[in-house]
Structure 1
Amino acid sequence: MTVSLLDQLSALVGQAFAQCDLDSSLGRVVVSQRRELGQFQCNGALAAAKAAKRNPREIADQIVAKLQETGHFSDLSLAGPGFINLSLSDDFLLGHINELADDPYFGARHGHDPETVILDYGGPNVAKAMHVGHLRATIIGESLRRLRVFLGDRVISDVHFGDWGLPMGLLIKEIEREQPDLPYFDADFSGPYPATSPVTVEQLQVLYPAASGRSKEDPAFLESARTATFELQQGRPGYRALWQHMLDVSVAETKIDFDLLGANFTEWKGEADTNDHIPGMLKRLEEKGLSELSDGAVIVRVAEEDDKKEMPPLILQKSDGAVMYGTTDLATIEMRQEEHDPDTILYVVDARQSLHFEQVFRAARKCGSLDAEARLEHVGFGTVNGTDGKPLKTRDGGVVRLRSLIDDAISEAHKVVVEAGMEDRFDTAELEAIATRVGVAAIKFADLSNQRMSNYVFDLERFTRFEGKTGPYQMYAAVRIKSMLRKAADQGLTEGALVASKDAERNLMLALAALPQAVQAAAEKNAPNILCEHVYSLTQEFNAFYHDCHVLGEEDAAIRASRLRLCAITLRQIEAVLDILGIDVPERM
């Protein structure tokens, strides 16, 4: 398994420090921020001087002398009080890139201990169209899933459907108001119930707002919905059958949106899947004295002595016997522990839910709901805003549907590809396929390139441009390489051994070598924006290389063959990173 370039250099420089009777950890090497001084830099001589009470430049000189003996560096110099600048020999750099190219993961898996990771994201609800609020949860969650798979982890992805609780009771009673003769409402009906749903997903999306509004104006209706919720949770057959219909049509609808966004789930579970687990959990917590009654409700106190803010208890069961979201979330953790024994569970949910998850996580720890070593983390994120800087809304102030957002992006991308002259080169079907990929790439890269806790402005015109830090720009760089490699094949040209004849080639190789650190940092921080920065830097370096170095037109056969190989390696890495980001690159554009 390939060791990353920075790790190799840190080990080499660390060994030089050790040979000078200094702490080897001071040999940590980082990428230089000033390329004119060197490709890499080590600042350890300053800390070593402080510890040894010696002059830092004197120590740096000793380290440089040791490094010169290795023959791995083309240039070693000092700057300031003792900064060591390093540039690699071509042999060392080329050797590393050859190793990197032979590794399908470009060295990213070295040093990573595979673990079992559960990702909870998406979070659609029965009877509700997915909206702009689901956009970031889905895009970020799917990217983190792909990242963990790339690292070699065992990954379980769960959509965790919102399919339980009072909203279901409201829908049941609203459907009963409109269609009272349906068998689902007859307590004496023994079945079988109809195989076809009495309501479509479009009807449900009208019924739920109506039921919600009615519950606020009619206390009797609200009470009847609460009773229906309780009876549903207790297993009333008619309500369960109607609920299953509502769930099925809602899942079918959301799968269309998830497919458009390339989201993949190994589990399509929801809150309802915890129903049979909850009674035993409540009994256990009561017997162990971990829960208590408070005004008729069952709660778990999660406040700690050193809290700087008020921390309300987690309510598990209301006085009327109904369970809460916190109950199903806690039960879900216990079931995940039993079924998967996870090392990490990540919840990709709006940052505004942070208090809820803190309560649930504290309760899980207190109640022994999962292994003590397992990690629970709420991966929060900011909002998608309009040009007014406020959360994105429709013109009439309503919630923007996710489907319409995707359709708008594809429509804008279609205009862009037509303006680029692609309409003359592709038939209608291929043009539409390209526009769809460009539109989805525009949305994804725009979202993921932002630090996830930041809010960002949704600007389709800017996102769909084939220039700058956009998804289409990264796609186009890959497509351009594909086109070049096809032309090379048509001309009978082949790849050959890597050589380095220009700085543009070396800089591109160094950009390729930076992937392991980007992948590791993105995984540690759950931050796909780090990968966006990496692939953008890589495409920038490739464009500089393409400008400075002839490839197909290079007369020297060995250099031409080397550059074709470098292009092929670059293409593989761009596509690998874009795939982690959920972006599918077409063969041509």
Structure 2
Amino acid sequence: MKKIIELIKSEITEAFIKSGYDEKYGMVTLSNRPDLCQYQCNGALAAAKEYKKAPIMIANEVVELLKTNAMFQDITAIMPGFINIILSKEFLAEYLSDEIKAEKFGLEAPEKVKTIVIDYGGPNVAKPLHVGHLRSAIIGESIKRIGKYVGHNMIGDVHLGDWGLQMGLIITELKKRQPELVYFDESFEGEYPVEAPFTISELEEIYPAANAYSKEHEDYKEEAKMATFYLQNGRRGYVALWNHILNVSVNDLKKNYEKLNVSFELWKKESDAQPYVADMVEYLKSNGFAKLSEGALVVDVSEESDTKEIPPCILLKSDGATLYSTTDLATIIERMKLFKPDAITYVVDKRQELHFNQVFRTAKKTKIVDDNVKLTFLGFGTMNGKDGKPFKTRDGGVLRLETLIQNVSDAVYEKIMSNREMEEAEAKEIANIVGLSALKYGDLSNQAPKDYVFDIDRFTSFEGDTGPYILYTIVRIKSILNKYQETISNETVNIEGVIPSSSESETSLMLELAKFNDIILNAFDENAPHRICQYIYDVANAFNKFYHENKIIAEEDKVKQTSWINLITLAKDILNTCIDILGFEAPERM
């Protein structure tokens, strides 16, 4: 079924055409003055210039044709030329009744199913996830889920960092600590052990120790560079160690991402792109795209329209070493070969914008991707502490992500136990569910590019624009529906949809629920989970106002009561769908 705003626009546009004006002036938007009307059309103001007429005259002509239209309760031309629209209660009830019956609340399948790769996550192996990994993970997961719900083929790729100097540092440190390990015996020709010679905890300690030591000992750093070189050139023992590092790290990463309710279709690595590098470099050189500059191989990506200098994209350093730009371009080649995507979206720290601008320009200029493949950089801002600086532990260290998740769950648990009597086990289970909503909603309700302050007290509040408030609303609706089921008798009237509203609060709730398809499609088009957060907050507010003004269970008019039950069931289903898209769920009770 069509979006409600499209149905309104269709009627308005037809009236403009019948009045002798171009169809482009029939655009309809949500009213910016909801106290005056529900929707509005400002097309007469723009048409006035083309047709050299007073805008109010044009608006009056259009309105005159629509006054008897059953879609509208009231449609009025207002100076200097606005058209204010209030929908009829019958039309709104019919639209919601159709929404209730339809799959996905009437969301139409896309004309063309697109394949879209979402690059999010991006942790380095051998390191624990920390707060800096939070935004990429949950924004990327949400965008992927929005696309899947809309009907596209979404492929999430974690894109692990596993091929740089960090690998050489770990191998060198292991050799320093355990030189007797068989991996360092170049004459060894047998099978290497199945078990790794380290645990995840030991591995997470080894890298920072090696990194710190290398900064003070140049010979050690050179040894690590050579270890990296040997690894990348296939030395058996080093490759075996690298596989151990990967296996131990990935198993741990999967556990931590699972706590965030984040998953990936692909666990691809930086190293997976390496087989494509040599051919790519040869292609770029032989076709005249790449040239030497001060010993480095670069691609000029500047354009005449640039208002500031865009440096060339470096493919190989003067010593022949590759960079992230090399790997990212080779990864695009791999993705095009494996999936032939219509689009690739990168959910990355916004400080990487220049890098990806260079990579995208190179990919387009050199025809690594066709012009019709959309490359998108979705840069996100920083999660800051109350001091306005990037979030840190009390002693100034980087906070582990699993610690942050636990801190939020603990804060919710304390609030639950201070307000109600509940078994400890149940309270902790609910706290984990509600805590995740607090964390995710607190992040996703902000526009991705903006920095925001992480305020655990505000995020875990059960009131206001928070995840727990949304969940509390869903649980409240579930409770009403359960009570209703207990009171059902032979007097119950069966109606499939809803009847025209009988109060302002009911109309407001119906209007919010009618926006669902429009909100989801806009969120998809704009890569904007925050739009869904704002929407469910509006739905929750509209429901709670309706709930406080109407005694649903005590209502004696059974037709009205059944309509209300259908209405709030739709509200529950839409809220549940939205929070699933955002990556969290509601408990049965709170």
Q: TM-score, normalised by structure 2?
A: 0.96
Partner Cα distance (2:442, 2:48) in 1: 45
Counterparts in 2 of 1:566 and 1:7: CA distance versus 1, 3 Å:
same
Q: Distance in 2 between matches of 1:363 and 1:228?
A: 31
Structure-1 residue corresponding to 2:167: 168
Tell me, yes or no, if structure 1 residue 537 matches structure 2 residue 538: yes
Partner of 1:506: 507
- 2-structure distance, mates of 1:10, 1:450: 30
Conserved? CA contact 2:41–2:82, under 8 Å = yes
Aligned-partner Cα distance in 1 for 2:412–2:555: 35
Change (3 A) 1:46 1:310: closer
Please, which moves more after superposition, 140-149 or 508-517?
508-517
* Other structure's SS at 1:267 match: coil
- Residue of structure 1 equivalent to 2:5: 6
- Preserved contact between residue 3 and residue 110 of structure 1 (Cα < 8 Å): no
Range with bigger deviation, 199-208 or 315-324: 315-324
1:453 aligns with 2:454: no
For residues 520-558 of structure 1, the C-alpha deviation after alignment (integer angstroms, 9 at most, x for no partner) is 222222111111110100111001111112211111000
Q: How does 1:274-289 map to 2 (within 5 A)?
A: 274-289=273-288
CA distance in 2 between partners of 1:51 and 1:363 (Å): 43
Aligned to 1:435: 431
Separation (CA, whole Å) in 1 of partners of 2:71 and 2:274: 63
Alignment of 1:99-114 (within 5 A): 99-109=98-108, 113-114=112-113
Equivalent-residue separation in structure 2 for 1:272 and 1:36 (angstroms): 58
**Kept in 1: contact 2:110–2:151 (CA 8 A):** no
Separation (CA, whole Å) in 1 of partners of 2:507 and 2:111: 27
Amino acid in the other structure paired with 2:5: L
Structure 2 distance, partners of 1:73, 1:38, is 11
Determine the C-alpha separation between the residues in 1 that align with 2:230 and 2:291.
24
Q: CA deviation at 1:242?
A: 0.1
Q: Is 1:334–1:369's contact at 8 Å kept on the other side of the alignment?
A: yes
**Correspondence for 1:480:** 476
1:183 equivalent in structure 2: 182
Shift of residue 100 of structure 1?
Answer: 1.6
Q: C-alpha displacement at 1:382, in angstroms?
A: 0.6
Q: Select the residue among 457, 465, 471 that pairs with 2:467.
A: 471
> d(CA) in 2 for partners of 1:71 and 1:450?
39
The alignment partner of 2:566 has SS state of: helix
- The answer for the alignment partner of 1:92 in structure 2 is 91
Q: Could you give the per-residue CA deviations for residues 260-282 of structure 1, whole angstroms, max 9, x where no partner exists?
A: 11111100011011122222222
What secondary structure is seen at the aligned counterpart in 2 of 1:316?
strand
Separation (CA, whole Å) in 1 of partners of 2:110 and 2:194: 53
CA distance 1:113–1:84, change in 2 (3 Å): same
SS at match of 2:74: strand
Percent identity over paired residues: 45
Q: Is the 8 A contact 1:124 1:160 kept in 2?
A: yes
**One-letter identity of the residue aligned with 1:460:** I
Aligned residues: CA RMSD: 1.6
Measure how far apart 1:48 and its partner are. Answer: 2.1
1:111, distance to aligned residue in structure 2 (A): 6.0
For the Cα contact (< 8 Å) 1:136–1:447, is it kept in 2?
A: yes
Q: CA deviation at 1:419?
A: 1.9
* Pairing of 1:65-80 with structure 2 (within 5 A): 65-80=64-79
Q: Could you tell me whether the CA contact under 8 Å between 2:114 and 2:152 is conserved in 1?
A: yes
Q: Is the 8 A contact 1:112 1:151 kept in 2?
A: no
Q: Kindly provide the CA deviation profile for residues 368-420 of structure 1, in whole angstroms up to 9, marking residues without a partner as x.
A: 21222101111101101111100011122111111110010011011111122
Q: Deviations over 1:114-159 (max 9, x none)?
A: 3111001011111111111100001100110110001100010000
Q: Post-superposition shift, 1:343?
A: 0.8
Give 1:238-277 correspondences, 5 Å limit: 238-277=237-276
Contact 2:99/2:106, CA 8 A, preserved across alignment: yes
Distance in 1, Cα, partners of 2:306 & 2:48 = 41
Q: CA deviation at 1:321?
A: 3.6
Following superposition, the deviation at residue 336 of structure 1 comes to 0.4
Aligned-partner Cα distance in 2 for 1:282–1:50: 55
- Range with bigger deviation, 518-527 or 574-583: 518-527
CA drift at 1:110: 5.8
| Mapping of residues 311-330 of structure 1, within 5 Å | 311-330=310-329
CA distance in 2, matches of 1:287, 1:300: 13
How much does 1:105 deviate? Answer: 2.5
Matches within 5 A, 1:43-442: 43-109=42-108, 113-421=112-420, 424-425=421-422, 427-442=423-438
Tell which deviates more after alignment, 64-73 or 351-360: 64-73
Task: Return the TM-score normalized by structure 1.
Answer: 0.96
Gaps of 5+ in 1: none
Aligned pair in 2 of structure 1 residues 11, 466: CA closer, same or farther (>3 Å)?
Answer: same
Q: CA deviation at 1:292?
A: 2.7
Q: Which amino acid aligns with 2:120?
A: Y
**Quick check: 2:110–2:150 contact (8 Å CA) kept in 1?**
no
